[in-house]
Amino acid sequence: MKIKHVINLHKGATAFYIAALMVAYQNFGVGPWVYLALHGTYGMLWLLKDRLYPDKQWEQPISLGAGVGTFGFLGLYWVAPFLLISRGVEPPLPLVAAAIALNILGTFLHYASDAQKYFTLKYQPGLITEGLFARCRNTNYLGEISIYLSFALLAMHWLPFAILSLVAALVFVPNMRKKDESLSRYPEFADYRARSGLLLPQLFRGADAQISSTGQPQLED
């Protein structure tokens, strides 16, 4: 078993889980339908991405116990739709619009940056310092956080925000720091780091810096 099999199972099951909640609680309001469309589509896109440009870090084998634990940890992301649907709350339309906008932005950043990383390293290995990575070293994580932040907004409860903060602290930030440490051995990385943000884009510094795209392949998360 590979870790990607567990992740893909969770992503693929999300739409069915949300639909089952809607049926169980007989809640077919605007909020649940929008949530189903956003989170369900995100899961389907994840499966499509795994087919078109898979992430090598998810290829590592894991034990059955670790797989169960991983699925349980990912299950924390199912708290948001449960809170939204079971409580019968109806998010106001301005909030729905904001969540949709944030989700679209996050989806673009997440999947487009992963595609850029995959195909750049496939055909021209080197330190990626242009495009979606020109001012932000972890555009994929910025996109993923934006996506789950949009889900938390729709749930209108503090718990999904706390869960997202926990995942960011335990998974996202350590991975970003680890990647920086790995890339620090390349001479050109110091200049790149000076003009880019770890998570948020650095827009007003080092505008004249030019980074060479040659070197060893970037070991991104």
Determine the number of helices (DSSP H) and then strands (DSSP E) in the chain: 9, 0
For 196-213, what is the mean pLDDT?
Answer: 69
**Res 180: pLDDT:** 92
Q: Which two tokens stand for residue 140?
A: 């994929």
**pLDDT at residue 212 is higher than 80:** no
CA pair distance 153, 147, nearest whole angstrom: 10
Provide the domain count of the chain.
Answer: 1
Domain extent for 127 = 3-194
Give the Cα separation of 125 and 218 in Å (integer). Answer: 7
Domain-embedded: residue 148: yes
Residues 6+ apart with CB under 8 A from 102: 146, 147, 149, 150, 153
AA letter at 88: G
Q: Is residue 205 part of a domain?
A: no
Is 218 a domain residue? no
Residue 209 lies in a domain: no
The whole-angstrom separation of Cα 20 and Cα 26 is 9
CB 1 within 8 A of CB 64: yes
pLDDT digits (tens, 9 = 90+) for 97-120: 999 999 999 999 999 999 999 999
Please report whether residue 68 resides in a domain: yes
Task: Write the CB contacts of 107 (distance below 8 Å, at least 6 apart in sequence).
Answer: 42, 45, 143, 147
Q: Quick check: is 219 in a domain?
A: no
The predicted model scores a pTM of: 0.90
CB atoms within 10 A of CB 200: 11
Residue 207 lies in a domain: no
Query: 118-150 pLDDT, tens per residue?
Result: 999 999 888 899 999 999 999 999 999 999 999
CA distance 188 to 132: 18
Block residue for tokens 């990575």: 133
Convert the pLDDT of each residue in 158-178 to its tens digit: 999 999 999 999 999 999 999
Does residue 216 fall inside a structural domain? no
8 A C-beta contact, residue 217 and residue 126: yes
DSSP 161-190: HHHHHHHIIIIIHHHHHHHHHHHTTSTTHH
